Amino acid sequence: MRLAASLRAATPDQREQLLARYRDATEGHYTEGLAHAIRHVSVKVQEKVRAALVERLARLPVDELRARLEGEGELRRAAARACVGKADAEMIPNLIDLLTDTDLDVREVAQQALRRLTGDDYARAAGRPQREHEPAAAK
């Protein structure tokens, strides 16, 4: 909560400095702090906080990033986005699992990451029912 309060109270220049510090800090609590802060800052600031969180997660070793994919909400979405930038073939089984995720954003990011890693498209037609995600995962 303190991290979110600091971001809300900061001027735009201060906010950029805070986000850089939170993104680059070595202490683990900044990861959860950034994820939690997203819903407590203005819409304009949310994307910047999300980007900082993704960059932070992209630096994690594969095993730690994989564990973050098991989380929920913003942290899970950010971990999926970090997989795109990481482009590590070890993540392919985890990304395949995400093709059937209930969160549309997570599914789309998994499709993007798999496309980048394999050169193949695992997308399903937009607006199709959840049960039609399984063929993409099986593929």
Q: Where are the domains of the chain?
A: 1-59, 69-139
Looking at CATH, the fold of the domain delimited by 69-139 is given as Leucine-rich Repeat Variant (1.25.10)
For the whole model, what pTM was predicted? 0.80
Cβ-Cβ contacts under 8 Å for 17 (sequence gap 6 or more): none
Compute the distance between CA of residue 73 and CA of residue 36 in angstroms, rounded to an integer.
10
Compute the distance between CA of residue 55 and CA of residue 49 in angstroms, rounded to an integer.
10
Residues 65, 82 contacting (CB under 8 angstroms): yes
pLDDT given for residue 120 in this prediction: 80
Compute the distance between CA of residue 43 and CA of residue 40 in angstroms, rounded to an integer.
9
- Asked if pLDDT for residue 48 goes beyond 90, the answer is yes
pLDDT digits (tens, 9 = 90+) for 2-25: 888 898 889 999 999 999 999 999
Residue 46's Cβ-count burial label (10 Å; 0-12, 13-18, 19+) is middle
pLDDT digits (tens, 9 = 90+) for 94-139: 888 888 888 888 888 888 888 888 888 766 544 455 555 566 556 5
pLDDT band of residue 46 (cuts 50, 70, 90) is very high
pLDDT given for residue 135 in this prediction: 61
